[in-house]
């Protein structure tokens, strides 16, 4: 079976965890006992949770589902309850250093077939371009959003949230004027706002009818989402840095978010991803799974199987891997 344990910037830590703490535990085990194996790997580790542990467990979980599907002769989504739809809505990342280059990026995405688009742009007077793509989607190279290229070491940089809050509504006004009211638009705040700043931005963006505002404030500060929710009707998405369902528990039960941004590779695999979405369904919360290029096509495929099976699917981030990556990972999915 094949699984994905990618953890950008901490790859060697996960490799060591798998080699030293997991692999020997699997020898002689029944590969069909997926849930039992998952619980053993999670509960038997004194230091539970965290991205390294959960990425390692995710790789095993995906591989076991892959084995079960091969033995059954069925795609994994059939084992999860069967398909709830024939295809999956996806969104791409349009970005630019200014409005005109942003418009060009939006047009490129529309030509590629995207029907939902995330909008990111540089802020005048600020050198930092966090979240702006390294190159155009149509370039044929791996489509990195800027954080994915930072590697293992963080960088210090200047940032002006007040300038960002002033500029961003004008960006969405321009995009709506250029491309009309029907195109679903998304935006990622990259955890850079305080709760009151996030509430202010959500309110300011309401006239432009966003599909969602993502990571508007640090996800660890879950109480802060209550304040944001009180002040804006802009839909909220959070969770790409979460590792377990417990991270989502308060946000889902209090309906403080509209979309779950988990990633199978960092969340322990297919099994817990399906569970958290079944939990979210009770509160009319949908999926919005994380899908950057630093998650392999294997991890991405795992999310597609979950997305096909659940009835509360929302959207899938899809940045497209490079031709070189696709040569290594043969795929049967098509993007239209």
Give the residue numbers marked as catalytic: 130, 190
First to last CA, the chain: 28
What are 194's two structure tokens? Answer: 């305080």
> How many angstroms separate the CA atoms of 251 and 249, rounded?
6
Give residues with Cβ within 8 angstroms of 233, minimum separation 6.
202, 206
> How many angstroms separate the CA atoms of 84 and 134, rounded?
35
> How many angstroms separate the CA atoms of 131 and 189, rounded?
9
Contact by Cβ (8 Å): 163, 95: no
DSSP-assigned beta bridge partners for residue 94: 119
Contact by Cβ (8 Å): 235, 211: yes
Contact by Cβ (8 Å): 267, 295: no
> How many angstroms separate the CA atoms of 1 and 16, rounded?
20
Contact by Cβ (8 Å): 43, 19: no
């Amino acid at each position: 079976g094949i699984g994905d344990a990618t953890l950008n910037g901490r790859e060697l830590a996960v490799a060591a965890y798998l080699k030293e703490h997991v692999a020997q535990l699997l020898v002689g085990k029944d590969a069909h006992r997926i849930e039992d194996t998952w619980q053993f790997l999670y509960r038997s580790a004194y230091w539970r949770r965290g991205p390294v542990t959960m990425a390692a467990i995710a790789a095993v979980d995906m591989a076991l589902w892959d084995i079960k599907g091969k033995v059954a002769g069925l795609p994994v989504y059939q084992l999860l309850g069967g398909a709830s739809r024939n295809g999956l809505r996806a969104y791409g990342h349009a970005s630019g250093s200014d409005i005109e280059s942003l418009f060009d990026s939006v047009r490129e995405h529309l030509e590629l077939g995207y029907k939902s688009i995330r909008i990111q742009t540089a802020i005048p007077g600020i050198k930092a371009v966090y979240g702006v793509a390294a190159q155009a989607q149509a370039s044929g190279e791996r489509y990195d959003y800027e954080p994915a290229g930072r590697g293992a070491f963080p960088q210090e940089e200047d940032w002006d949230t007040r300038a960002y809050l002033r500029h961003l509504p004008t960006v969405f006004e321009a995009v709506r004027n250029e491309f009309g009211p029907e195109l679903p638009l998304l935006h990622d705040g990259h955890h850079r706002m305080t709760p009151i700043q996030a509430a202010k931005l959500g309110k300011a963006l309401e006239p432009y009818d966003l599909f969602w505002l993502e990571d508007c404030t640090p996800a660890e500060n879950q109480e802060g989402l209550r304040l944001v929710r009180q002040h804006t009707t802009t839909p909220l998405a959070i969770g790409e840095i979460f590792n377990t369902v417990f991270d989502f528990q308060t946000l889902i039960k209090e309906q403080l978010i509209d979309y779950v941004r988990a990633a199978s590779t960092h969340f322990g695999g297919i099994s817990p991803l399906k569970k958290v979405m079944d939990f979210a369904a009770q509160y009319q919360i949908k999926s919005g799974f994380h899908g950057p290029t630093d998650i392999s096509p294997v991890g991405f495929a795992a999310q597609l199987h979950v997305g096909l099976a659940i009835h509360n699917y929302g959207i899938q981030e899809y940045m497209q891997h490079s031709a070189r990556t696709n040569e290594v990972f043969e795929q049967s999915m098509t993007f239209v």
